[in-house]
Structure 1
Amino acid sequence: MAAEERAALERSVLLVDFRHTPTGPAWQVEEADAAGVAAHRALRQRAFVEEQGLFAGSDRDGTDDDPRSVTLVARVTTGTVLGGVRLAPADPGGPDVGWWTGSRLVVAPGAPHGLGAALVTAACARAEAAGVLRFDATVQDRYAALFTRLGWRATGATDLGGRPHTAMTWPIGRLAALARATKSPLGALLGGLHLGGAGFVGDDGAPVPGTDVIAACDAILPSMVERDPEWAGWCGVLVNVNDLSAMGAAPLGLLDALGARDASFAARVLAGLRDASRAWGVPVLGGHTQLGVPASLSVTALGQTSRPVPAGGGRAGHEVRLTADLGGGWRRGHTGRQWDSTSSRSTAELQTMGSFVARTGPAAAKDVSMAGLVGTLGMLAEASGCGAVLDVAAVPRPAAASLGDWASCFPGTAFLTTDVPGAPVADAGPATTAVCGALVPGAGVQLRWPDGSLTTAVPGPVTGLGPA
């Protein structure tokens, strides 16, 4: 072997030190099996009952019997459980409204440093994965500083078992982040444009001046067109028909602009577009197709109404209603993001839901789109010059969707409307309508929980476009 080759080999070998075998952590946090749950309960009994005297006889409660309850444990490789924590809906006997609590955090004597903090962090992640929008805990005062360092916020003081405790909450910013990512740049980007004219700022469509025509335009995410071309074509019709419907307009026709790498791919997108056009009974009038380019799809819709419903017609004191089709399920490959309630509906059903706003004639309306339910409500409130409160327990949603997913997904067919309390509402066919909030003075969106407390979901204006 040449000297140069030997030197190169030595340099390569010295890059890795084989004298010490890399080792992982001596323990890991995992969701408990039956044995893990039993071990966690034994640790709880020893700590909270026998040593601390917080409970008499047993610390078992209704949460232990709730089948939705989750226990996380820290377990060493030999199987021994060193600690654990449980989390579950706040009301063990009631519906899951997206409000969970963490409790019974316990660590065995002599456990490694940092194990308790790891359990708390894992519980927060598990709660958010379950679609939770409020996660609370009642913590002994001596541990409040640990929770604060981990990002929790104190909300009050209480007493449990004769010892001072601090009520704390884990801030979940999922809804604010979605609104910020999808809509917050609009105010700066669109300044100086006509935007539909006086009284129509932040609307789903735009009245064409001097006519009774409403124009709307939506582009489908290129990644979605690439991954699911037929569904992209279907949604190109769906979102535009929804935009017209939210303004009380009857659809007249569609124009599409399609980009595709080849004719075969373009045919798949157009198949979805064609199927949706037939389903809603709205013709595709024309458009443009370009081959040999990255995937893209944009659809423009034209509708007609002499009395367009604005997004900015709401006022403080108005009721907020959600009208949503709860049928169907998550679109394959889009779980938690896109609810498909339309592909199994008849033309009559789709048209009945689509004419709901026109037949109701509310003060304000928007269809729930990419900003999600809460972000869309924030946009309607912003255009109306006020804020909004959403009663989470009153929101109609499918049993298969968590509150977090339902409040942030694209829900297929769903409209937010506002009007004076008690205003009549038209039949929405297969869709469900419920009063689930109110417009209030201020800005942003707050969530009202069954205990009457409020948490901030969107802290201020969503788009920056301002009132209509």
Structure 2
Amino acid sequence: MFDVPVLTGSRARLEVPAWEIHVADDARTRAYRALRRDVFVDEQGLFDANDHDDIDDDPRTVVLVAVTPAGDVLGGVRLAPATTRDIGWWTGSRLAVRRGARHAGGIGSALVRAACREAVARGVVRFEATVQDRNEPLFRHLGWERWGETTVAGAPHVRMRWPIDRFAALVRATKNPLGEVLSGIRDDHPDGLGGAGWIGDDGALVSGTDVVVATDAILPALIDKDPEWAGWCGVLVNVNDLSAMGAHAVGLMDAVSAPTASAVRRIVSGLRSAAVAWGVPILGGHTQWGGASSLAVTAIGRTAHPVPGGGGRPGQSLGLTVDLHGRWRRGFEGRQWDSTSTRTGAELRHLAGVIPEHRPAAAKDVSMAGIIGTAAMLAEASGTGARIDVAEVPAPDAAAFGDWLTCFPGFGMLTADAPPISSPLATSSTIGALTGAPGVVLRWPDGVETVAVDAGATGLGQA
């Protein structure tokens, strides 16, 4: 709980030394705990002897303190995961400011703001506090929202939540404009955008054939920063697109441009390495230099049993099959998980065959929108919503949970109504269900549900 004495005491402005907020070391943590005893035990009488609890003993707990140049602790706050496994749900608590430093520089408000920044930086996606009734106005002023009431140590408290819209913001940035931009194409031809039943899919069926075609472009910033990785990703994302549609890749075409021939060689090197690893030939394309960096790759696949991205129905299970192997790609920490570059060709080809082998009712590969955003896209195309049980989402230990839910994971497939999927290389879990209400809702271990993405992730509507 945030037991904040910031709003108590004299309103007179007092002179206090300049201060800065830092993550506390052991000595400052001890000083912060002594300050808490002064405030919550001696001054307010909320606790009998001391306010020490399990959060103090949790090694993951982060303490922030306001410290003078002389090293005196004027105030502090702590934040920590709310669950044994860190799933991005943290709480802030025990905000305390020395009596003589209150109303004299906004220390309490600054500590709350610093706690919010620290939480977001650590990949937190649900951040809450339980505060005394009289301190609710302070938190509302700082942008917090009330969502419940409770009693702590016999005193009335309110439950407050700091709004973090990380998932919705990512969808807005990467997917929301698609419907408006592409709507005319859908009207131009019966097969426009894939045709009825396939709108918004990862690739397109060529009418009257067993051929599936997928195309992806790589962001110029990625090309300039890591040309070989850009080439590798050009193949990776297209193979994933075909796999999500139940197809096996049989060929690649590329269009490569860069300022110099040397840069082109590096991009092509990455393309070749990936094509060899997945066993897919580069059939041709277009290559030039002397202009801006760009890379687009088209993959051609075949399948007798195509899997739609919009084939889900309300009540069906929502599954995630993902490769937890690997690490953050250097230079893209928190955004791109590299599970593929250290896999053998045989392993990569095995993973590419998982969806074609199991043929779920619907599938989408996890893309730039992350796990939550991609679930919103699958649900939208299916004409459903989705409920995700956060604690059931598999994640690597080395990734902050919020980062994991919003990153490109290398190999990750969301499925609807899939048979049991077993792979020695990937972890599969039922992470929720499709629902009749649009949008994506997260269900937490305490039963609370929070909205992650509203309806209409892309604006393309039901397939």
TM-score by length of 1: 0.93
Contact 1:323–1:428 (CA under 8 A) maintained in structure 2: no
Q: Secondary structure at the match of 1:416?
A: strand
Alignment match, 1:213: 211
The one-letter amino acid of 2:43's match is E
- Looking at structure 2, the residues matched to 346 and 318 of structure 1 have their Cα atoms a distance apart, in angstroms, of 34
**CA offsets per residue over residues 71-117 of structure 1, 9 Å max, x none?**
000011111110000000113xx111111000000000121231100
Q: Secondary structure at the match of 1:401?
A: coil
Contact 2:235–2:275 (CA under 8 A) maintained in structure 1: yes
- Is 1:434 the counterpart of 2:417? The answer is no
How far does residue 427 in structure 1 lie from its aligned partner after superposition? Answer: 3.0
For 1:266-281, what aligned pairs fall within 5 Å after superposition?
266-281=264-279
- Looking at structure 1, the residues matched to 49 and 370 of structure 2 have their Cα atoms a distance apart, in angstroms, of 47
Q: Secondary structure at the match of 2:95?
A: strand
The one-letter amino acid of 1:44's match is R
Contact 2:243–2:356 (CA under 8 A) maintained in structure 1: yes
- Is 1:403 the counterpart of 2:401? The answer is yes
Alignment match, 1:252: 250
**CA offsets per residue over residues 103-150 of structure 1, 9 Å max, x none?**
000000121231100000000010011101100100001110110111
- Is 1:361 the counterpart of 2:356? The answer is no
How far does residue 318 in structure 1 lie from its aligned partner after superposition? Answer: 0.7
Contact 1:234–1:275 (CA under 8 A) maintained in structure 2: yes
The one-letter amino acid of 2:109's match is A
Percent identity, please: 60
Contact 1:155–1:169 (CA under 8 A) maintained in structure 2: yes
The one-letter amino acid of 2:434's match is L
Contact 2:308–2:362 (CA under 8 A) maintained in structure 1: yes
For 1:283-294, what aligned pairs fall within 5 Å after superposition?
283-294=281-292
Alignment match, 1:177: 169
Segments of 4+ in structure 1 off by > 6 A?
Answer: none
Of the three residues 447, 453, 459, the one matched with 2:454 is: 459
The one-letter amino acid of 1:164's match is P
Q: Secondary structure at the match of 1:258?
A: strand
Alignment match, 2:339: 341
How far does residue 428 in structure 1 lie from its aligned partner after superposition? Answer: 2.8
- Looking at structure 2, the residues matched to 373 and 426 of structure 1 have their Cα atoms a distance apart, in angstroms, of 18
**CA offsets per residue over residues 202-231 of structure 1, 9 Å max, x none?**
110010111110010000000000010000
Which stretches in structure 1 are left out of the alignment for 5+ residues?
1-24
- Looking at structure 2, the residues matched to 424 and 237 of structure 1 have their Cα atoms a distance apart, in angstroms, of 28
- Looking at structure 2, the residues matched to 172 and 153 of structure 1 have their Cα atoms a distance apart, in angstroms, of 11
- Looking at structure 2, the residues matched to 259 and 236 of structure 1 have their Cα atoms a distance apart, in angstroms, of 13
For 1:62-461, what aligned pairs fall within 5 Å after superposition?
62-91=54-83, 94-111=84-101, 112-193=104-185, 194-419=192-417, 424-461=419-456
Q: Secondary structure at the match of 2:99?
A: coil
**CA offsets per residue over residues 413-440 of structure 1, 9 Å max, x none?**
0000011xxx523433401101011111
Which stretches in structure 2 are left out of the alignment for 5+ residues?
1-16, 186-191
Higher Cα radius of gyration: 1
**How many residue pairs align between the two structures?**
439
Q: Which deviates more, 65-74 or 26-35?
A: 26-35
- Looking at structure 1, the residues matched to 415 and 352 of structure 2 have their Cα atoms a distance apart, in angstroms, of 13
**CA offsets per residue over residues 154-211 of structure 1, 9 Å max, x none?**
0111111121110111111111100010000000000022110110011100101111
The one-letter amino acid of 1:374's match is I
Contact 1:352–1:429 (CA under 8 A) maintained in structure 2: no
Q: Secondary structure at the match of 1:460?
A: coil
Contact 1:349–1:429 (CA under 8 A) maintained in structure 2: no
